[in-house]
Amino acid sequence: MTEAEVLFDKRDGVGLITLNRPKAINALNHSMAQAILSTLREWADDDEVRTVVLTGAGERGLCAGGDIVAIHTDAKNAVTHGVSRHDSADSPSGRFWRDEYILNALIGNYPKPYVAVMDGIVMGGGVGLSAHGNRRIVTERSMVGMPETGIGFIPDVGGTYLLARTPGELGTHVALTTARMGAGDAIAAGFADHFVPAERIPDLLAQLRRTDADAAIAAVAQPAPVSDLAAQRSWIDACYSADTVEEIVARLQRHDAPEAAKAAGDVLAKSPVALKVTLRSLRNARRAANLEQALDEEYRVSVAALTTHDLVEGIRAQVVDKDRNPQWAPATLAEVSDALVDSYFADLGDRELGLSGAQE
């Protein structure tokens, strides 16, 4: 028999969730999201569960993100057949995102300690499963990021909410360049809370079965490594506080910090339309009253992206053909109109996610 893609274990006061697709770095698919959502709802009212713990099988990481190949198939179909944004919400990817974002919101408001072990690679959808938790652990192997603009997509899974609340403009830098954050960076940016060496994770899990979450973490946690990212805030804040992607790039190119010039090149390699939509999303998320409001807007944007050339082309270049040479359209920032950016944020009518309304 094939082993389940998510393993659930309830004993000694701990509800343990293990993402179990190690060959795919535990990439999240729809059935996994549904299973986790159902179990978390059940455990929220289960007196036998004191603490929930999320971890990943294998040595490579907690979760590399969503199932990109499935999204590519839906995007290709939408572009080939001219599927509307409204109808793409009912595609397999649209339905997956709906349940995934509902899951992200539940994690963000979970009534019990939710300990996310963010060891190794934690990207995209993996961030959504972990960084909204109330006890977030990183190790020396952690590599945390939101790589969406590199495939013509826009940060989702509540990522815009997290990125918009980093100190200064760190989140804007991470989003537009797809920079990876190590343990110290993730803690400094508000994506994680505690540093635990990877060799002590088994000790942490054992402690969690014996005592409450905070005491268990305190027994094994160590001081966080220094954040290289936070140390660069002076040029990051100066450059990324601009109102347009064009001005951000211009400031980066003019700045005398060598890291700024590299960042300019990293930004310009990404999808021009994804960059502009991402900047708008981040600025909007700063004003969001809560995570649910940000997720509602991300759903509109994700569904819109599913109908675009750049998502198909970005996944092709990075994941399918792996030639690393995407041909973006529009090809330059100057060609991306305000109207095109606006279209990503249009109301979906009866296909809205509606999480923020549900909270009222």
From the candidates 125, 145, 150, 314, which is the catalytic residue?
Answer: 125
DSSP state of 204: H
CA 306 to chain CA mean position, Å: 17
Peptide bond into 202 cis (omega under 30): no
From the candidates 74, 148, 185, 310, which is the catalytic residue?
Answer: 148
Count CB neighbours of 262 within 10 A.
12
159 a catalytic residue: no
Q: From CA 89, how far away is CA 83, in angstroms rounded?
A: 10
9 Cβ contact partners less than 8 Å away, ≥ 6 residues apart: 15, 16, 18
58 a catalytic residue: no
Alpha helices in 241-287 (DSSP H): 245-254, 258-268, 272-286
156 a catalytic residue: yes
Q: From CA 160, how far away is CA 4, in angstroms rounded?
A: 31
Question: Of 334, 331, 301, 328, whose CA–CA distance to 315 is shortest?
Answer: 328
CA 227 to chain CA mean position, Å: 20
Q: What is the dihedral of CA 112, 115, 121, 122, to 10 degrees?
A: 20
From the candidates 74, 156, 292, 297, which is the catalytic residue?
Answer: 156
From the candidates 15, 61, 65, 66, which is the catalytic residue?
Answer: 66
12 a catalytic residue: no
- Would you name the residues annotated as active-site residues? 66, 125, 148, 156
